[in-house]
């Protein structure tokens, strides 16, 4: 290659000088691009290494690489300095005078998910259910195995689980995870309380999934009853009573479809009847169309056994559903992602007054 030998010390001096005089992050970035960008001068020099004879390369490569490191370091140093200056300038100018009178009434609102959780707690408290909770970081046994989902079970694949790395494992060395459903609270309750058990467990759950109706974090509510002589009739009455109270309509119709969950046997998926009005809105009630709202079933004997209880004495039912979905249905929101954007306009529109405490006598959503 017939090229003039670049004057590296001069180039370094020029670049350092340009870095020094940069007075803004944008100007500094322009220097970075000029030196290290795709067609930057140093990048160009590094590219010439490939065409050199081996001896020449051994000699030139360290020099060019040293230049690159020096410039990278100088850029980083100057960047930190400019960022510090920018922050100080903002701190000096962005003052708030706390003695000024308030111009607007404070407009905080209760998020629809919080409101619906309170509504659910109110409805189930009236039926004699207590609220139970469990950790969001779960171990393999509570989230899967005790729920009759052993390691090789195909249901595990359907859960899109977020696992922790090797530094966060259970006592058997298996990775911990973000719970994929609220069902592990069934296990935690059965292993820590004596039956009879009547609980609901609302809370955050996580799956690696994201579109208009799925977010990686979402909310579920679990219900669990363990008592003597519990039948599917109790399950049916409880869910009917719950959904009528929740949707505040006496004409809520349910359809029980056979389903499959490893932790319930038999299992039923529950659809609620609805129609679409002339404005395209979903109206719950009737039996024109159906949508699935709940998973449920009789607690599997194996789950009762795993929790150290005798399944010949204790029976029960369980159900689970998405709280965000219930909120969307009841209050007419169509994009789940907006729930978690923290957009004040959305919150003002869909949020509830803090005084709007759900009560059964007032209609839970009144
Ligand atoms: N855990 C189930 C899910 O996340 C829902 C469910 C709960 C089904 C309890 C039956 C009984 O899909």
> Do residue 167 and residue 228 come from a single domain?
yes
Residue 177 to residue 353: CA distance in whole angstroms: 35
**184-197 residue pLDDT tens:** 999 999 999 999 99
- Structure letter (DSSP) for residue 211: B
Q: Is the pLDDT reported for residue 1 higher than 60?
A: no
Least confident of 124-128, 221-225, 251-255, 354-358: 354-358
Give every CB contact of residue 124 below 8 A, 6+ residues apart in sequence: 131, 200, 223, 242
Ligand 1 pocket check for 319: Cβ under 6 Å: yes
181 lines ligand 1 (CB under 6 A): yes
Ligand 1 atom closest to the Cα of residue 267 is 10
Inform me whether the pLDDT recorded for 181 exceeds 90.
yes
Q: How far is the CA of 340 from the centre of ligand 1 (A)?
A: 23
**160, 263, 325: residue to mutate for ligand 1 pocket, most atoms within 8 A of CB:** 263
pLDDT in tens, 262-311: 999 999 999 999 999 998 888 999 999 999 999 999 999 999 999 999 99
Reply yes or no on whether the pLDDT at 56 is more than 60: yes
Long-range contacts formed by 121-124: CB under 8 A, 24+ apart: 121/200, 121/202, 122/358, 122/359, 122/360, 122/364, 123/242, 123/245, 123/246, 123/360, 123/364, 124/200, 124/223, 124/242
- State the residue range of the domain holding 79: 8-93
CATH number at residue 238: 3.30.930.10
How far is Cα 299 from Cα 266, in angstroms, rounded to an integer?
8
Do 176 and 69 have their domain in common? no
d(Cα 361, Cα 366) in Å, to the nearest integer? 9
Asked whether residue 3 is domain-assigned, the answer is no
Rg of the chain's alpha carbons, rounded to an integer? Answer: 31
Structural domain contains residue 356: no
Alpha carbon nearest to ligand 1 atom 4, residue: 181
Whether the pLDDT of residue 243 is over 90: the answer is yes
Nearest CA to ligand 1 atom 10: 296
- For residue 295, tell me if it sits in a domain: yes
Give the percent of the chain with pLDDT over 70: 97
Which region among 4-18, 64-78, 311-325 has the lowest average model confidence (pLDDT)? 4-18
How many A from CA of 124 to the centre of ligand 1?
A: 18
Whether the predicted pLDDT of 143 surpasses 80: yes
Residue 148 lies in a domain: yes
| Pairwise CA distance, residues 357 & 115, whole Å | 8
Rounded to the nearest angstrom, the distance between the alpha carbon of 334 and the centre of ligand 1 is 23
Number of structural domains (the chain) is 2
Residue 3 pLDDT > 70: no
Helices (H) and strands (E) in the chain, counts: 12, 10
Q: Ligand 1: which atom is nearest the Cα of residue 223?
A: 9
Report whether residue 318 contacts ligand 1, using a CB cutoff of 6 Å: yes
Mean of pLDDT over the chain = 92
* Residue 103 tokens, joined: 């111009």
Does 286 fall in a domain? yes
- Residue 179 makes CB contacts below 8 A (sequence gap 6+) with 134, 135, 136, 137, 138, 142, 143, 205, 206
* Mean pLDDT to the nearest integer, 30-50: 93
Which of these, 182, 135, 180, lies nearest to 156 by C-alpha position?
Answer: 180
118 and 193 assigned to the same domain: yes
Name residues whose C-beta falls within 8 Å of residue 325's C-beta, 6 or more positions apart in sequence: 213, 293, 336
State if residue 300 touches ligand 1 by the CB under 6 angstroms criterion: no
- Helix 323-331 with 232-247: angle, nearest 10 deg: 40
First-last CA distance in the chain: 82
Residue 23 and residue 156 in one domain: no
Give the atom of ligand 1 at the shortest distance from the alpha carbon of 180: 4
């Amino acid at each position: 290659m017939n090229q003039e030998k670049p004057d590296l010390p001069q180039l370094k001096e020029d670049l350092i000088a340009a870095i020094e005089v940069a007075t803004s992050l944008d100007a500094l970035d322009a220097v970075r691009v000029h030196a290290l960008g795709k067609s930057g001068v140093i990048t160009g020099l590094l590219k010439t290494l490939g065409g050199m004879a081996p001896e020449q390369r051994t000699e030139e490569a360290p020099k060019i690489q040293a230049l690159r490191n020096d410039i990278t370091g100088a850029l980083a140093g100057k960047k930190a300095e400019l960022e510090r200056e920018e922050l100080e300038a903002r701190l000096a100018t962005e003052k708030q005078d706390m003695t000024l009178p308030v111009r607007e009434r404070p407009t905080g609102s209760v998020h629809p998910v919080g409101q619906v959780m309170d509504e659910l707690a109110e409805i189930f408290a009236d039926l004699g259910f207590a609220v139970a909770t469990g950790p969001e970081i779960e171990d393999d046994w509570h989230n899967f195995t005790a729920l009759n989902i052993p390691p090789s079970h195909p249901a595990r694949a359907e859960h899109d689980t977020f696992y922790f790395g090797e530094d966060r494992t259970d006592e058997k060395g298996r990775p911990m995870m973000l719970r994929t459903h609220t069902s592990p609270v069934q296990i935690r309750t059965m292993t820590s309380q004596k039956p009879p058990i009547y609980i609901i467990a609302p809370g955050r759950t996580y799956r690696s999934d994201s579109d208009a109706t799925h977010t990686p974090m979402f909310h579920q509510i679990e219900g669990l009853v363990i008592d003597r002589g519990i039948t599917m009739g109790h399950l049916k009455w409880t869910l009917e009573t719950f959904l009528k109270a929740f949707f505040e309509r006496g004409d809520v119709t349910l359809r029980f479809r056979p389903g499959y969950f490893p932790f319930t046997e038999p299992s039923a998926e529950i659809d609620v009847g609805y129609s679409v009005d002339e404005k395209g809105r979903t109206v719950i009630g009737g039996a024109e169309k159906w949508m699935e709202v709940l998973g449920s079933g009789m607690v599997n004997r194996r789950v009762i056994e795993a929790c150290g209880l005798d399944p010949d004495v204790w029976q029960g039912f369980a159900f689970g559903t998405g709280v965000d979905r219930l909120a969307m249905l009841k209050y007419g929101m169509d994009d789940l992602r907006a729930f978690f954007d923290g957009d004040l306009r959305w919150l003002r529109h869909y949020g509830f007054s803090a005084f709007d405490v759900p009560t059964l006598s007032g209609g839970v959503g009144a």
